[in-house]
């Protein structure tokens, strides 16, 4: 082929690059590995992840739930995972119809009217919601109330730093664990009130009351959900009056995978549809009246609007959104209810058992879904590290990771994957470790 192009060497292909910019040596990366060697290398690294196979009660924004076997089979079909963004609808209807179903499911679960085709994850979805509230209301203050996931708060802070948005925090009520009353912070410059429910401490917020407060000053209510399984049991953000609902979709059939790829859910009211960031799929018809689906309302997007776009997002989390869609359709109406109920029941059982332990308490009083804070009689980080080494149990998240002023507290998460025997051995382990 080189010859046919009138070239004598592969190097000539790069003649348009000035010679002094061309790399005159080999890259200092490894020599090529065979499949056998490569797999052995990664298996060895994986074995270095000592926590991967432990009984775990770690949640805090990423959850261990059962993933039906069919999810991975479907997303591993060549037709799905090796396709691009569906720019050519005639040969992309598989992806498009799946996303349309995803959007519908997100609406159903969040109780909202429109949803997009996905955001990077829950944290960036929340940041985009804040930016959208500013666009919608043309106001510049945002009140984040209660215990929002600290990493989500970090991400919002990064996103808004140059957007002329003032971010204000309403504190956590030390007794209930819910947000304290934000009324004093709300005013007619407030674009949005942001709340997470269940919040970072596992407490369910009174979202409906907060919605009223936000609306009373003309602000939007943004609700974030990190544990999307809770939507199977708890009143939806939409039903509570949310204007924008975002969620981390990882709980819907997506492996923990050390933090990603996950998928951000983003939903809002129909009237804000043209302010939504990211991709949207809509129904369309060909000239013979056959139904199909297309990417739509593209004029919001960067490839048309450029710097005036509703967001810079382009590639999103298509395949993970597909995984979530397969998960939701497989579990279905009854499965989602059951898994949510099991989480709540098992978590309540664990909390009851731990509350009985000498020296331990469950300090926060608000209703919970599947996570709760435990206060231990000693430093939580040491306690949990004991539990890991002696009992091969990851007992939860020491809150000191984010809150140095809470050395003795840790966050426990219980899902349908935790058997009663596992919960009992957690309780037993805590007992032993404090003896």
Partner 1 sequence: MKSDITKVTSHINPNEALIFERSQPGRIGYRLPPLDVDEQPLADLLPQNFLRNDDLEGVPEVSEVDVIRHFVRMSTWNYSIDQGMYPLGSCTMKYNSRLNEKVARIPGFAGLHPLTEPADAQGALAVIYNLQQDLAEITGLPGISLQPAAGAHGEMTGVMIIRAYIDARDGEGGSAKRRTMLIPDSAHGTNPASAHLSGFSVKTIRSTSEGLTDLEHLRELCAVGDVAGLMLTNPNTLGLFERNIQEICRIVHDAGGLVYMDGANMNALVGVARPGDMGVDVIHLNLHKTFSTPHGGGGPGCGPCCCTKELEPFLPVPRIVRSGTGIPAGESSSATETAADFKLDFNHPQSIGRVKAFFGNYGMMLRALAYIQTHGNDGLREATEAAVLNARYIAQGLTSDFEKPYNNPPMHEVVFTDKRQTRKGVHTLDIAKRLIDYGFHPMTIYFPLIVPGAMLIEPTESVGRQELDQFVEAMRSIAREAIEDPELVLNAPHTTRIGRLDEAAAARKPVLRWKPKRKADAAP
In angstroms, the CA 299 to CA 303 distance is 8
Rounded-to-integer distance, Cα 266 and Cα 245, Å: 6
Among 77, 271, 305, 420, contact with a copy of itself (rule: CB under 8 A): 77
Residues in 385-424 at the binding interface with a copy of itself, rule: CB under 8 A: 417
Single residue of 53, 76, 257, 389 touching a copy of itself by CB under 8 A: 76
When CB distances are held under 5 to 8 angstroms depending on the partner's kind, the choice from ligand PLP, partner 1, a copy of itself, none that residue 19 binds is: none
Contacting residue, 21, 36, 184, 421, with a copy of itself by CB under 8 A = 36
State the nearest-atom distance from the C-beta of 327 to a copy of itself, in Å. 13
Which partner, ligand PLP, partner 1, a copy of itself, none, binds residue 260 by CB below 5 to 8 Å per kind? partner 1
112 to each of 34, 102, 104, 345, how far by Cα in Å?
50, 13, 9, 27
Our CB check for partner 1 shows the closer of 184 and 421 to be: 421
Nearest CB to a copy of itself, comparing residues 73 and 274? 73
Q: Which strands sit side by side in the sheet containing 371-375, from one edge to the other?
A: 371-375, 409-413, 397-398
- Give the residue carrying structure tokens 């091969």: 392
Question: Any idea what the Cα angle at residue 115 is, between residues 208 and 280, rounded to 5°?
Answer: 160
- Our finding on whether 80 is near a copy of itself (CB under 8 A) is no
Q: How far is the CB of 172 from partner 1 (least distance, A)?
A: 18
> Which residue number, 8 or 315, has a Cβ lying nearer to ligand PLP?
315
Give which of ligand PLP, partner 1, a copy of itself, none residue 403 binds (C-beta under 5 to 8 Å, depending on kind): none
What SS3 string covers 54-89?
CEECCCCCCCCCCCCHHHHHHHCCHHHHCCCCCCCH
Of the candidates 358, 362, 359, the one whose C-alpha atom is nearest the C-alpha of residue 349 is: 362
Q: Looking at 6-14, 76-84, 90-98, 422-430, which segment touches a copy of itself (CB under 8 A)? A: 76-84
Q: Where are the alpha helices (DSSP H) in 356-419?
A: 380-391
Tell the smallest beta-carbon distance from residue 186 to partner 1 (Å).
22
43 binds a copy of itself (CB under 8 A): no
Task: Tell me the closest approach of the beta carbon of residue 375 to partner 1, in angstroms.
Answer: 19
Q: What is the chain's Cα-based Rg?
A: 24
Upstream peptide bond of 423 is cis (omega within 30 degrees of 0): no
Task: Name the DSSP class of 398.
Answer: E
Chain contacts with a copy of itself (rule: CB under 8 A): 35-36, 66, 68-69, 73, 76-78, 417
């Amino acid at each position: 082929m080189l010859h046919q192009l009138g070239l004598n060497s592969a190097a000539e292909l790069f003649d348009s690059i000035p010679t002094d910019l061309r790399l005159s040596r080999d890259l200092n990366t490894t020599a090529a590995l065979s499949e056998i060697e490569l797999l052995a290398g990664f298996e060895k690294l994986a074995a270095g992840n000592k926590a991967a196979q432990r009984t775990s009660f770690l949640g805090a924004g990423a959850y261990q739930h059962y993933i039906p076997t069919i999810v991975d089979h479907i997303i591993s079909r060549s037709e799905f995972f090796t396709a691009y963004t569906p720019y050519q609808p005639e040969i992309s209807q598989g992806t498009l119809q799946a996303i349309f179903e995803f959007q519908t499911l997100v609406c159903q679960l969040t109780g909202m009217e429109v949803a997009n085709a996905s955001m990077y994850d829950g944290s960036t979805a929340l940041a985009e919601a804040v930016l959208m509230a500013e666009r919608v209301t043309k106001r510049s203050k945002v009140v984040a109330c209660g215990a929002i996931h600290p990493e989500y708060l970090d991400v919002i802070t990064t996103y808004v730093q140059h957007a002329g948005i003032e971010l204000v925090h309403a504190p956590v009520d030390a007794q209930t664990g819910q947000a304290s009353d934000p009324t004093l912070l709300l005013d007619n410059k407030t674009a949005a009130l942001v709340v997470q429910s269940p919040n970072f401490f596992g407490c369910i917020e009174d979202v409906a009351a907060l919605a009223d407060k936000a609306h009373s000053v003309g602000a939007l209510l943004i609700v974030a959900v990190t544990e999307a399984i809770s939507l199977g049991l708890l009143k939806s953000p939409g039903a509570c009056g949310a204007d924008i609902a975002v969620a981390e979709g990882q709980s819907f059939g997506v492996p923990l995978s050390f933090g990603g790829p996950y998928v951000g859910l983003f939903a809002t009211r129909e009237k804000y549809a043209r302010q939504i960031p990211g991709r949207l799929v809509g129904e369309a018809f060909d000239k013979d009246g056959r139904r199909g689906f297309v990417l739509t309302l593209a004029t919001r997007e960067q490839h048309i609007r450029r710097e005036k776009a509703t967001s810079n997002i382009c590639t999103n989390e298509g395949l993970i959104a597909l995984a979530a869609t397969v998960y939701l359709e497989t579990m279905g109406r009854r499965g989602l209810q059951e898994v949510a109920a099991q989480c709540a029941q098992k978590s309540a059982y664990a909390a009851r058992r731990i509350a009985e332990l000498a020296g331990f308490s469950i300090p926060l009083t608000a209703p919970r879904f599947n996570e709760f804070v435990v206060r231990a009689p000693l430093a939580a980080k040491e306690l949990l590290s004991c539990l890991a080494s002696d009992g091969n149990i990851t007992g939860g998240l020491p809150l000191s990771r984010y809150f140095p002023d809470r050395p003795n507290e840790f966050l426990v998460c219980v899902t349908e994957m935790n058997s009663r025997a596992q919960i009992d051995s957690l309780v037993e382990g805590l007992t032993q470790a404090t003896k």
